[in-house]
Amino acid sequence: DAEITQSPRHKITETGRQVTLACHQTWNHNNMFWYRQDLGHGLRLIHYSYGVQDTNKGEVSDGYSVSRSNTEDLPLTLESAASSQTSVYFCASSDGQGPQETQYFGPGTRLLVL
Amino acid sequence: AQSVTQPDIHITVSEGASLELRCNYSYGATPYLFWYVQSPGQGLQLLLKYFSGDTLVQGIKGFEAEFKRSQSSFNLRKPSVHWSDAAEYFCAVAQLNSGNTPLVFGKGTRLSVIA
């Protein structure tokens, strides 16, 4: 069955380190998204991509970067991890054109920055 | 700016009772509206969505939602709640030509179900 996976599921790192969170989907969806979920804030969009070589900044993109070299993967990199980036990170994908399409979410990565 | 408000942070209902979760949005044009559910420790799953047409939308797991343009609302309902419905529920609005926020989520409502 097609799916969307995230790795690692849990990560502990130290401030200042570079961290990369992986997201892989087998639906061949054009659109991929990264969100962070924090208590009291719901889900906030970090970056998104509408196709290979396309990336766009979301609401809370500072300190994060993404690259889209193929359809299946959208890795999220924290250039220099900060304690404020402790959060649960969700990757999602969707098909079709634009934000009205249903998004399918991965299981999440829980990141702790010490 | 476009926004989604879920006024209730936490709701507790008895098993078998009816449920209504509130959602209000702020958006100039006709919105695309969604309800997602998140079970503990898991990602989000779509319950239902509204684009146009019939304002009463049926979803999975016995949920429905009604779009009321005059009230800028898209409330989620279920006639009889089951213990397995305990989860966090998110309302979201899609914005076309939106700049950097293609899908905006509310902050969520946590549903607890008691016997």
Taking only residues 49 to 108 of chain A, the set having a beta carbon closer than 8 angstroms to any beta carbon of chain B reads 56-59, 61, 90, 92, 98-100, 102-108
Q: What is the pLDDT of residue B101?
A: 60
In DSSP terms, A35 is beta-bridged to A45, A90
The DSSP secondary structure of B40-95, one letter per residue, reads TTS-EEEEEEE-SS-SEEE-GGG-EEEEEGGGTEEEEEESS--GGG-EEEEEEEE-
Average pLDDT for residues B2-16, to the nearest whole number? 94
Is the confidence at residue B27, as pLDDT, over 90? Answer: no
- Is B32–A100 a contact, with Cβ atoms under 8 angstroms apart? yes
Low-confidence ranges of chain A (pLDDT < 50): none
The DSSP secondary structure of B14-43, one letter per residue, reads ETTS-EEE--EEE-SSPPEEEEEEE-TTS-
Write the CA distances from B42 to A1, A5, A53, A66, A100, integer angstroms: 18, 12, 29, 23, 22
Q: What is the pLDDT of residue B37?
A: 97
Q: What is the pLDDT of residue A60?
A: 94
- Give the whole-angstrom CA distance, residue B94 versus residue A27: 22
